[in-house]
Amino acid sequence: MDIVMDAEALNAFLGREFPQVAGEYRVERVDPDLLTARLTVGEAHLRPGGTISGPSIFALADLAIYCAILARIGPVALAVTTNASVDFMRKPEADRDLRAECRVLKLGRVLAVAEALIYSEGGTEPVARCSMTYSIPPKS
Amino acid sequence: MDIVMDAEALNAFLGREFPQVAGEYRVERVDPDLLTARLTVGEAHLRPGGTISGPSIFALADLAIYCAILARIGPVALAVTTNASVDFMRKPEADRDLRAECRVLKLGRVLAVAEALIYSEGGTEPVARCSMTYSIPPKS
Amino acid sequence: MDIVMDAEALNAFLGREFPQVAGEYRVERVDPDLLTARLTVGEAHLRPGGTISGPSIFALADLAIYCAILARIGPVALAVTTNASVDFMRKPEADRDLRAECRVLKLGRVLAVAEALIYSEGGTEPVARCSMTYSIPPKS
Amino acid sequence: MDIVMDAEALNAFLGREFPQVAGEYRVERVDPDLLTARLTVGEAHLRPGGTISGPSIFALADLAIYCAILARIGPVALAVTTNASVDFMRKPEADRDLRAECRVLKLGRVLAVAEALIYSEGGTEPVARCSMTYSIPPKS
């Protein structure tokens, strides 16, 4: 599938459409096979025991998968997550950013499916695995 | 299963352990069969198109399920989510709070499973369904 | 949502369309709120340790959810499962049939979401929980 | 993680412990990074419209993931699936076998997580994606 939005275009889109969170997230690289995105971990993402909250990990996976789909179909702000499945596997490092590596498995006319592995920056074993389905609105 | 923490005890626990988010969430009722919790929806939870973000819905489900388990086993801060599955089914109302209704399906020695339905306040059809598995740390 | 196929109509449909498996499964009751279906457990469903295989439990949940959707939209043989999430929570009894209790949570134009709890016949605690999304083909 | 059971040992184990299904499934290759297994598709796996049933796909994923875990921990017949999430993405070819490619993402003391992509033999796009959690019984 051709890439129609690169990292710069995706980050500009996030800044326009999601100003509440765009400062925390950054798309770093968009290849035909892999998109990588980063969450700059701050105080608000931390939890007792020196870890990062589940919802922060979920939010990074959601954003990375959304961007991986937009990279292929263009800036469709109203694509929505219909299903998400997450395995939280290891404790992330509280003092490191999180990195998502995302692959699109299916891009249909109506539904897209993608998965993301989440790593602590510098780590080689994933802290979480996430798969999501997005519903793509019909072209008007 | 007996209830060992009521709504007041759970809210006090959240305030102590999760001060970053405790102001947004409130356990409203704890029965043997059902726990209800509320997210006070604010600007940070909103998204384009007049809706509430997926991560905000996930966070409410996670908190409600965590509290439903603690209500039965007591204040074990280190219980952790190992798996979550969410279906986002309807668009929530941007100008209403979200309410979670949570049921514990299994409370084992090592794993607990619970599910939550999420509603816009005053609504009768769920905006989301979520099931989660929690890993319970061994007693020391 | 109105019921347009009752248990008899669903069982006749299964016999016509799924002759390979229709003998094992039976829809027992179709109410607006709840569909119940049964798997007659036989040798082929058993596994070591006196239990019933995961795929047998999955198949019962899939069939019950499919029927619960057809009960509302009529005999659309080509509705397909797009996502399934299952929690296996307790060991089923090898010498009892399995019963599914299924609820439809959303019936949209394109997607339907339903969930099923699976019980050993006579049991009160579910052996498994399952949620599924079905894609509904457009009317031609 | 070291491999302690190769394909031959796993197939012999399946033949002993799961005689009902061992003829249909075959582990083909076990590498440190990837296990591949095959379902020989027969009449019992087919469904209307020239496709393969969801439960057959689920069963292949379950078997491949089980074997990928046993390859690392040895013949522990009582490891059990606690959670499964499946995305059915494309219609499999009715006249081709199915191939599972399975990766272990976490092998903990108590829980293991793995995922499988399922392909029609000769195909390059996955028909399904599956992730599962297994509970590993304590060593006695």
Instruction: Domain ranges for chain B, please list them.
Output: 7-135
Please give the average per-residue pLDDT across B96-103, as a whole number.
Answer: 98
Q: Do B128 and B91 contact (CB within 8 A), yes or no?
A: no
CA distance A96 to A60: 14
Q: Do A92 and A100 contact (CB within 8 A), yes or no?
A: no
Residue A139: the pLDDT is 66
Q: Up-side HSE of residue D96: CA atoms within 13 Å toward CB?
A: 12
Q: Do A32 and A1 contact (CB within 8 A), yes or no?
A: yes
Q: Do A64 and A106 contact (CB within 8 A), yes or no?
A: no
C88 vs D95 pLDDT, higher one:
C88
Does the pLDDT value for residue D139 go beyond 80? no
Q: Which residues contact B95 (CB under 8 A, 6 or more apart)?
A: B41
Among the listed ranges A25-39, A47-61, B92-106, C123-137, which one has the minimum average pLDDT value?
Answer: A47-61
Does the pLDDT value for residue C40 go beyond 60? yes
CATH code assigned to D7-135:
3.10.129.10
Does the pLDDT value for residue D140 go beyond 60? no
A1 part of contact set with chain D, CB < 8 Å: no
Does the pLDDT value for residue A57 go beyond 70? yes
Residue A1: the pLDDT is 67
Residue B50: the pLDDT is 82
Q: Do C104 and C116 contact (CB within 8 A), yes or no?
A: no
Residue C140: the pLDDT is 54
Residue A77: the pLDDT is 67
Does the pLDDT value for residue B77 go beyond 70? no
Span C42-51, pLDDT tens digits: 988 888 778 8
C113 part of contact set with chain B, CB < 8 Å: yes
Query: Please, which pLDDT band fits residue C41 given cuts at 50, 70 and 90?
Result: very high
According to DSSP, the β-strands at C111-120 and C98-107 are: antiparallel
A83 part of contact set with chain C, CB < 8 Å: yes
Question: What is the percentage of chain A residues whose pLDDT exceeds 70?
Answer: 97
Choose among B126, B118, B108, B101: nearest CA to B1.
Answer: B108
Kindly report the pTM of this predicted structure.
0.96
Q: For D13, phi and psi rounded to 5 degrees?
A: -60, -45
B94 vs D133 pLDDT, higher one:
D133
Please give the average per-residue pLDDT across A60-74, as a whole number.
Answer: 96
Sort out which chain A residues have CB atoms less than 8 A from D131's CB and list them: 85, 87, 129, 131
Of D54, D78, D81, the CB nearest to C54: D81
Question: What is the percentage of chain B residues whose pLDDT exceeds 70?
Answer: 97
Which chains does chain C touch, 3 or more C-beta pairs < 8 A? A, B, D
B40 part of contact set with chain D, CB < 8 Å: no
D18 and C47 within 8 Å at the Cβ level: the answer is yes
C48 vs D123 pLDDT, higher one:
D123
Span D7-59, pLDDT tens digits: 999 999 999 988 878 789 999 999 999 999 999 999 888 887 788 999 999 99
ipTM metric:
0.94
Q: Do B23 and B79 contact (CB within 8 A), yes or no?
A: no
Instruction: Please identify which residue in the block is written with the tokens 């299964």.
Output: C14
Does the pLDDT value for residue B98 go beyond 70? yes
C46 vs D119 pLDDT, higher one:
D119
D82 part of contact set with chain B, CB < 8 Å: yes
Q: Could you tell me which chain B residue has the CA closest to the CA of C84?
A: B85
Instruction: Tell me how crowded residue C70 is: count the other CB atoms within 10 A of its CB.
Output: 24
Measure the CA angle with vertex A51, ends A45 and A55; round to 5°: 45
Residue C104: the pLDDT is 97
Residue B1: the pLDDT is 67
Please give the average per-residue pLDDT across A92-98, as a whole number.
Answer: 93
Give me Rg for the CA atoms of chain D: 14
Q: Could you tell me which chain C residue has the CA closest to the CA of D84?
A: C86
CA distance A63 to A84: 12
Q: Do B109 and B136 contact (CB within 8 A), yes or no?
A: yes
C111 part of contact set with chain A, CB < 8 Å: yes
Residue A106: the pLDDT is 97
Please give the average per-residue pLDDT across C54-71, as a whole number.
Answer: 96
Span A108-125, pLDDT tens digits: 999 999 999 999 999 999
Sort out which chain A residues have CB atoms less than 8 A from C135's CB and list them: 110-111
Please give the average per-residue pLDDT across D89-114, as a whole number.
Answer: 96
Instruction: Please identify which residue in the block is written with the tokens 């019962």.
Output: C60
Q: Do D95 and D60 contact (CB within 8 A), yes or no?
A: no
Residue A88: the pLDDT is 98
- To the nearest whole angstrom, how far is the Cα of D86 from the nearest Cα of chain A? 9
